[in-house]
Amino acid sequence: MTTIAEPLAHTQPSFLDAPGRKGLLGWILSTDHKRVGILYLYSMVAFFFVGAALGVLMRLEQLTEGRTLMSAQTYNALFTVHGVIMIFMFVIPGLSAVFGNFFLPILIGAKDVAFPRLNLASWYCFVGGAGLAVLSLFTGPGAPDTGWTFYVPFSMKSGTNVSLAVFSAVVMGFSSILTGLNFITTVHRLRAPGMTWHRMPLFCWSLYATSWIQILATPILSITFVLVMLERFFGIGIFDPAKGGDPILYQHLFWIYSHPAVYIMILPAMGAISEILPTFARRTIFGYSAIAYSSLSIAAFGSLVWAHHMFTSGMSSFGNMIFSLLTMIVAIPSAIKVFNWTATLYKGSIEMGPPLLYALTFIFLFCIGGLTGVMQGALAINQHVHDTYFIVGHFHYVMFGGTGFAFFAALLYWFPKMFGRDYNRRAAYVAWVPLFVGFNLLYFTMLVLGYMGMPRRYYDHLPQFHTGHLVATAGSWLLALGLLVLFGNFVAALLRGRKAEDNPWGGVTLEWKVPSPPPQENFEAIPTVTGPPYAFGKEGGP
């Protein structure tokens, strides 16, 4: 901030040494937004590794033709559970639950979110729902085998534990809704004096847009899954064609939530990238308001494109055309962001750092994910690649290459601030090599396989796809290795990392003006803000 050149005075202990309950209770009963953020971080990363392990197992099964490791039923359960874990327990809470909770109040100059107790309650909903999902794997008639989309009529008839699994998603939905309304209220009510809307860091804008999608879309998923449960328990008939119902209605209701959910996943990721780039380019962001408002327009348009998941489900061709057009339109605000990021780097005094490397990787991988998305938005191509590995490759580029890499970038960027420890920067660079190579071997091969006609979710493959599967499986090993190095580095830093500086990257937003780790109440006195967020090299800048 222009007026706040010097680090803010502080006498309080950091939130990690705060007085009060010690040990586990001090965490799970704490309403401090920073502790809640870290609770989310630990629980989500744990689930991420479970999901990743399941993914590696699926790839192993595809190593050879026919049976390699497991039965077809187990394989069905694996891709279902992999999807449920990765979507509902990692990418949807994603950057918003971890970094949003930790940094939103600090970035806008507040001491906490608007409803701290509700915030902790949302973590309980998340963990409770996730617990139920895990329970659904080991109890009753066995792990769900429907795919994470729970399409009817199969999810109505499947003898596996579908009811508990969808109920767990409803409970986790509560967590998403509560976080969303908490953040919206926080942004409206708790901005520091002088922190006008257009002085908010872009991460806050993206969280604000995301929060609106969370509260507008999630309830639809909840009611849809409740209907699936009613269908299974009582045979209510709304989705059952034998009783006059319509299974396509399910698909509409499901995607009315689940497509906007994609933007719940990616918008905070874009916000984090918009924080990292100016810091490492040592200049203000290019096109601040374009980036801010493109977040809102992605949120708006993203809510109107759901039926592009259903081009082959038998909609009218007029409907298909409309949704195809709307889908293409979403590419515009996304491209606005990419161009602005590139322009930010142009003529900047770029200083390389691990967060920047991962952020640039995000841009590269997200572009591939986005462009393959536009391809599928075209009706003619979609007819061919629908339900193939092309789709699987595409959404992994967006969700893993996009949200996943942005998550890593944000963690590398903010880790020293969150924990007050420095990780080994060299190891972070080293981890990038297997991550990047493995990622592209795995998912680009999937794009190719899908284009050649390999259907998704199949247990077995034809001989002509064998080489591709071999390459992809090898890629999955490299990717897993990279993840182990990356997170091993974080664990080592937590255990015996050097003490981090207050501002290791030379950032100018408010979180870099408070000590690492931040004191319990963030600010001794609420700061007054008089300038734009990324004022490098100007009065008061570094």
Partner 1 sequence: MNPPPHAEHHDPFAAKLGMWLFLVTEILLFGGLFIAYSYMRARYPHEFHHAGGSLSIPIGVANTAVLLTSSLTMVLAVAAAQRRSMKRSLLLTWTTVALGGLFLVNKGFEWASKFHHGVYPNSDHMASLPPGERVFFGLYFSMTGLHAVHVIAGMAVLAVLGSMIAKGRIRERNSVVLENGGLYWHLVDVVWIYLLPLFYLAA
Residue partners of 334: CB distance under 8 A and separation at least 6: 294, 298, 370
Long-range contacts of residues 423-430, Cβ cutoff 8 Å, at least 24 apart: 423/489, 423/490, 423/492, 423/493, 423/497, 424/489, 424/492, 424/493, 425/353, 425/354, 427/485, 427/488, 427/489, 427/492, 428/354, 428/357, 428/486, 428/489, 429/354, 429/357, 430/485
Q: In the numeric block, which tokens belong to residue 492?
A: 């080592």
Q: In the numeric block, which tokens belong to residue 457?
A: 């979710």
Spatial contact of 272 and 308, defined as CB atoms under 8 Å apart: no
- Tell me the closest approach of the beta carbon of residue 242 to partner 1, in angstroms: 9
Q: Which of 128, 1, 45 is nearest to 418 (CA)?
A: 45
Spatial contact of 149 and 254, defined as CB atoms under 8 Å apart: yes
Which residue, 193 or 235, is less far from partner 1 as judged by CB?
235
Other C-beta atoms lying within 10 Å of the C-beta of residue 18? 18
- Tell me the closest approach of the beta carbon of residue 117 to partner 1, in angstroms: 6
CA distance 441 to 468: 9
- Tell me the closest approach of the beta carbon of residue 152 to partner 1, in angstroms: 13
- Tell me the closest approach of the beta carbon of residue 525 to partner 1, in angstroms: 11
CA distance 81 to 102: 29
Which residue, 243 or 426, is less far from partner 1 as judged by CB?
243
- Tell me the closest approach of the beta carbon of residue 193 to partner 1, in angstroms: 13
- Tell me the closest approach of the beta carbon of residue 296 to partner 1, in angstroms: 17
- Tell me the closest approach of the beta carbon of residue 103 to partner 1, in angstroms: 19
Which residue, 190 or 200, is less far from partner 1 as judged by CB?
190
- Tell me the closest approach of the beta carbon of residue 179 to partner 1, in angstroms: 12
Which residue, 78 or 204, is less far from partner 1 as judged by CB?
204
* Start-end of H helices in 15-115: 23-28, 33-61, 72-84, 94-95, 101-107
- Pick left, alpha or beta for residue 153 (phi over 0 → left; psi -120 to 50 → alpha; otherwise beta): alpha
Interaction site with partner 1 (CB under 8 A): 31, 111-112, 114-118, 177, 180-182, 184-185, 188-190, 215-220, 222-224, 226-227, 230, 234-238, 243-246, 249, 252-253, 256
Give the angle 411-416-419 at the CA atoms, nearest 5°.
Answer: 95
Amino acid code (one letter) for 130: A
Q: In the numeric block, which tokens belong to residue 151?
A: 């399409």
- Tell me the closest approach of the beta carbon of residue 262 to partner 1, in angstroms: 18
- Residue owning tokens 């007026």: 3
Which residue, 137 or 170, is less far from partner 1 as judged by CB?
170
Which residue, 223 or 332, is less far from partner 1 as judged by CB?
223
Q: Which of 399, 517, 387, 377 is nearest to 453 (CA)?
A: 387
Which residue, 253 or 447, is less far from partner 1 as judged by CB?
253
Give the angle 68-45-371 at the CA atoms, nearest 5°.
Answer: 75
- Tell me the closest approach of the beta carbon of residue 4 to partner 1, in angstroms: 20
Which residue, 246 or 539, is less far from partner 1 as judged by CB?
246
- Tell me the closest approach of the beta carbon of residue 173 to partner 1, in angstroms: 9
Other C-beta atoms lying within 10 Å of the C-beta of residue 168? 23
Which residue, 227 or 500, is less far from partner 1 as judged by CB?
227
- Tell me the closest approach of the beta carbon of residue 244 to partner 1, in angstroms: 3
CA distance 246 to 483: 43
Question: For strand 498-499 and strand 421-422, is the pairing parallel, antiparallel, or unpaired?
Answer: antiparallel
Which residue, 306 or 341, is less far from partner 1 as judged by CB?
306
Which residue, 497 or 518, is less far from partner 1 as judged by CB?
518
- Tell me the closest approach of the beta carbon of residue 311 to partner 1, in angstroms: 19
- Tell me the closest approach of the beta carbon of residue 225 to partner 1, in angstroms: 10
Secondary structure of residue 462 in the 3-state scheme: coil
Which residue, 222 or 473, is less far from partner 1 as judged by CB?
222
Q: In the numeric block, which tokens belong to residue 81?
A: 């559970």
Which residue, 210 or 503, is less far from partner 1 as judged by CB?
210
Strands (E), 264-392: none
Which residue, 32 or 61, is less far from partner 1 as judged by CB?
32
234 burial level (CB within 10 Å; 0-12, 13-18, 19+):
exposed
CA distance 505 to 330: 33
